[in-house]
């Protein structure tokens, strides 16, 4: 939740709710958990990869919105 809130703030949006987690999401050739959430601007998802939390629009893996460091 902390990473999602930080990403949404970085993107200048307002979080509505987290909707689902997908533990079978593939990103950069590896399985990871994607967290889906709604903001005042629609559906997005986040992956935590390589020390970064990355926010994508909808279900896209190429429509990158923003990223932050993920400790």
Q: According to the 3-state scheme, what is the secondary structure of the chain?
A: CHHHHHHHHHCCCCEEEEEEEEEEEEECCEEEEEEEEEECCEEEEEEEECCEEEEEECCCCCCEEEEEECC
Confidence band, pLDDT 50/70/90 cuts, at residue 71: confident
Give 15-40 pLDDT, tens digit per residue: 999 999 999 999 999 999 999 999 99
Beta carbons of 65 and 11 less than 8 angstroms apart: yes
Q: Can you tell me the distance from the alpha carbon of 28 to that of 24, in angstroms, rounded to the nearest whole number?
A: 13
Beta carbons of 56 and 65 less than 8 angstroms apart: yes
Give 53-68 pLDDT, tens digit per residue: 999 999 999 999 999 9
């Amino acid at each position: 939740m902390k990473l999602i809130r930080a990403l949404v703030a970085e993107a200048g949006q307002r979080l509505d709710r987290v909707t689902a987690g997908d533990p079978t999401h593939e990103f950069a050739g590896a399985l990871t958990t994607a967290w889906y959430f709604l903001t005042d601007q629609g559906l997005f998802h986040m992956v935590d990869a390589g020390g970064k939390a990355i926010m994508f629009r909808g279900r896209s893996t190429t429509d990158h919105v923003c990223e932050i460091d993920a400790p």
